[in-house]
Structure 1
């Protein structure tokens, strides 16, 4: 297995639970993170090596190392010949590896359909050459892949089963030392170094503006431990003082506890929707990356809650539009609109029910059929 970044590690860990239930003697190894390690995964390399971002210099500087790791992994797997290879997200790394393994006779499964319905539709040819089967998180994806001759199964989103249908906000607040009557905004500027670099200062400046308008607001920031130093530096510059707490991880607790969240586009926005939280989605990146991404975008939305709803149910402020003043104003709008928030909660509850499936069983059923040929 290969999983990239924190979100892929989480999905792979949940999948491993199902795999071990189906095959108790399973041995799993490759590239993974702490969630996978807790399930006995043998990580030959850590998943955070794959946490690169956009078309940035960071990618170019690390490309040679990533290609070397992929070549070493390919050679080892072709030599040891596992029953199957499962690539979890990380398509730029995994598809090239999967294609080589499949050509060498190793069964390949890709978990998480790339967003060909949102951007880069030409990637269907790559998927067809790489994966014997695709496990899809969203219900409309298998039919789309079938039109291109790609076998796929809708397995639901594992997070929809992990996150409770009715969040325990009071319990989450108690665990985080927050009062029941506190007004709490969660700031989630991302889990990648480049995301923190582009978004953290902007988010904290927006928080300072919110605090000026409503001095009683409390801010919580779940930070990836490896990037906590970057987050702390950006927070210090904003001068928020005791109004802000930086957490070691605990993003789910932060989303469950908050009244609203200012959040970077990505998997975390779906987590926020499953916790039924109003949000403002933001994203910024380097100018070249932004221009290239915009050319390939097929839909007017980038946030998963809006894509799955087919409309702008929450605001998206991207690139030059993501100014501190605009982010603060949009977030405060949620705090001042309880009726609108309740309507959004009902919308997200319906979405949660649609995504909630027995993912582990559906996924392992599909994998077993692949193994049986």
Structure 2
């Protein structure tokens, strides 16, 4: 018989992990209303009663070189968390939400210490860094997979897993209400709107945001009536405001958060590679995916790439359904040209929306129920 309350530790590093973990916790708390959850998380997790010992942005670093200035602090946090969870604050279960570079070694230590471990989000070992699956096998008792093809691949490596769908596919409606979103953002029904999403990490804003705003200015010169909306994390807002002013861009609205309103309202989006590209696909929006990072990090990463695609919509569709402009290819001129090509091609947009609707149906499951069932089996094993 279940104990009156469960104690789950979680680590979610960065905005996308906080979003996924917050949605997961909402379902888990329906099964265990007295759940106590703690560890590393963000505001969406806090809204579900999560006690954050460290904020998730402490782990929000992407790239090999970019992490170096923060590596000592990150390793110190992991050691402190490991020691605390193995001593007086032992949880019934640890759930690592993405962030494999931080979570795998932590999970392995906790598992060796007798704590059940679940990893939420299968690492993309099928796309790049294939050796990650070996670390996953020794780290997690069970994996919750977002994509339907992953459990069969994990089974080949002797890893137990469950396909739970992507929680965003439940949250985002199959037919987003563009008119309501535009009213919320103060945009007109007849405006042509481009959403600019330069990423949720400081390093992403550093390397890509200026290119995005320069591209927007080129687009506006060709189409003076274009409107732009930029959802920004509050911590990144000052830098984004500064870059917008420096660009000379007009007709731009910078918002604190509200990325879903921006994606629902826009005609197309210029977007940094990451989870946000899947959100854009679920909103059925045409996009140009771009990324730029430290040169040495890029050289290391590209050698580990196993597929021709980087953006999630292209990976899941198995072809280049939207353009990807990476590193040196992500020039303002190329970005602007790619965006204007979408705005001039309604038939292409219609075909893309049909493809994204099929993808939405594939990913839409009762994620909370499936994940909670899997977690309960792990606890009983």
Query: Per the shorter chain, which TM-score range?
Result: over 0.9
Counterpart mapping for 1:48-59 below 5 A: 48-56=57-65, 58-59=66-67
Corresponding residue of 1:82: 91
What residue in structure 2 maps to residue 47 of structure 1? 56
SS of residue in 2 equivalent to 1:35 = helix
Partner deviation per Cα, 1:297-341 (whole Å, 9 max, x = no partner): 000000000000000000000011100000000000000000110
| Residue equivalent to 1:346 | 354
Distance (Å, rounded) in 2 between the aligned partners of 1:367 and 1:123: 22
What TM-score comes out, normalization by structure 2 length?
0.97
1:9 corresponds to: 18
Show the counterpart of 2:318: 310
SS of residue matched to 2:196: strand
* 1:81 shift after superposition: 2.0
Contiguous gaps of at least 5 residues in structure 1: none
Deviation at 1:171, TM superposition (A): 0.6
Alignment match, 1:180: 189
1:122 maps to which residue? 131
Match for residue 154 of structure 1 among 146, 151, 163: 163
Deviation at 1:124, TM superposition (A): 1.1
Q: Equivalent of 1:327, from 331, 335, 338? A: 335
1:32-85, Cα deviation, whole Å (9 max, x unpaired)? 1000001110101111100012012x4111111111111111111111321100
The 3-state SS of whatever aligns with 1:121 is coil
The TM-score with structure 1 as length reference comes to 0.99
State the distance in 2 between where 1:125 and 1:174 align.
Answer: 49
Following TM superposition, where does structure 1 have runs of at least 4 consecutive aligned residues deviating by more than 3 angstroms?
none
Counterpart of 1:20 in structure 2 is: 29
Map of 1:71 onto structure 2: 79
Counterpart CA distance in 1 for 2:113 and 2:347 is 57
Give, in whole Å, the separation in 2 of the partners of 1:61 and 1:299: 30
Of 88, 94, 101, the match for 2:103: 94
2:210 paired residue number = 201
Secondary structure at the aligned position of 1:28 is classed as strand
Matching residue within 231, 235, 249 for 2:244: 235
Structure 2 counterpart of 1:32, from 37, 41, 47: 41
Return the offset for 1:233: 1.4
Q: Which residue of 1 aligns with 2:7?
A: none
Following the alignment from structure 1 to structure 2, what is the Cα–Cα distance between the partners of residues 200 and 194?
10
Higher helix share: 1
Structure 2 CA distance for aligned equivalents of residues 332 and 99 of structure 1: 48
How far apart, CA to CA, are the structure 2 residues paired with 1:59 and 1:318? Answer: 20
| Correspondence for 1:257 | 265
User: Is there any run of 5+ residues in structure 2 with no aligned partner, and where?
Assistant: 1-9
1:104 aligns with 2:113: yes
After TM superposition, give the deviation of residue 230 of structure 1 in Å: 1.0
* Paired residue secondary structure (2:39): strand
Q: How many residues align?
A: 371
Question: Matches of 1:290 and 1:100 in 2, distance apart?
Answer: 30
Q: Secondary structure at the match of 1:225?
A: coil
**1:234 Cα offset (Å):** 1.2
1:217 corresponds in structure 2 to: 226
Q: Secondary structure at the match of 1:370?
A: helix
Alpha-carbon distance, 1:237 to partner: 1.4
